[in-house]
């Protein structure tokens, strides 16, 4: 969940104007992590493999679209309906939320991601799966947790940091404000 939130913060700092509002930073981090709230379903007795189980409906692009529209309607009320800015914000939050399922599909464990939910509960992985799945319940301090963290650093966070760094350099070194 931490990796997803950090990715959301990096996206906000990369795409937003200088001095991005706290609202955009917080919503970016939240939208990137919200799909993992479905892990509460395990504690609530939702059976393994159910559409509302982990990596089910809440990891689907359909959910990402619903959440992005809801976020924009609730938190960007002053934005004119169907304006270019509103469409961009919906797309931005959609991509952040949908990135969660894509990253999870890069892991080597679990039953896959229900990309077609709610229309199908079939689960999928991406063909290339370099990330050790995070051990739910065992924690980050277990051997598997340490491997998962190392993989996420190598394959997700470090590349995201490099993208941010390139944007930062371009904005602060090459682009001179008038």
User: pLDDT by residue (tens digit) across 58-87?
Assistant: 999 999 999 999 999 999 999 888 899 999
Q: How confident is the model at residue 170 (pLDDT cuts 50, 70, 90)?
A: confident
Tell me the three state secondary structure of residue 142.
coil
Tell me, what's the pLDDT at 168? Answer: 86
Contacts of 105 (CB under 8 A, 6+ apart): 112, 113, 115, 124, 125, 126, 129
Tell me, what's the pLDDT at 123? Answer: 97
Contact 67, 36 (CB under 8 A): no
CA 152/CA 133 separation, integer angstroms: 9
Tell me, what's the pLDDT at 134? Answer: 80
Tell me, what's the pLDDT at 175? Answer: 73
């Amino acid at each position: 969940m931490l990796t997803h939130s950090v990715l959301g913060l990096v996206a906000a700092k990369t795409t937003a104007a200088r001095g991005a509002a706290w609202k955009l930073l917080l919503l970016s981090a939240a939208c990137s992590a919200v799909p993992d709230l479905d892990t509460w379903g395990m504690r609530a007795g939702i059976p393994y493999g159910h559409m509302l189980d982990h990596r089910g409906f809440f990891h689907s692009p359909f959910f990402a679209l619903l959440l992005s529209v809801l976020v924009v309607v609730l938190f960007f009320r002053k934005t004119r309906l169907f304006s270019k800015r509103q469409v961009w914000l919906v797309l931005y939050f959609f991509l952040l939320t949908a990135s969660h399922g894509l990253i999870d599909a890069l892991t080597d464990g679990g039953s896959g991601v229900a990309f077609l939910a709610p229309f199908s509960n079939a689960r999928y992985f991406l063909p290339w799966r370099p990330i050790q799945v995070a051990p739910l319940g065992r924690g980050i301090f277990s051997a598997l947790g340490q491997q998962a963290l190392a993989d996420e650093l190598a394959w997700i966070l470090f590349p995201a940091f490099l993208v941010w760094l390139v944007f930062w350099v371009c904005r602060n070194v090459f682009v001179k404000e008038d």
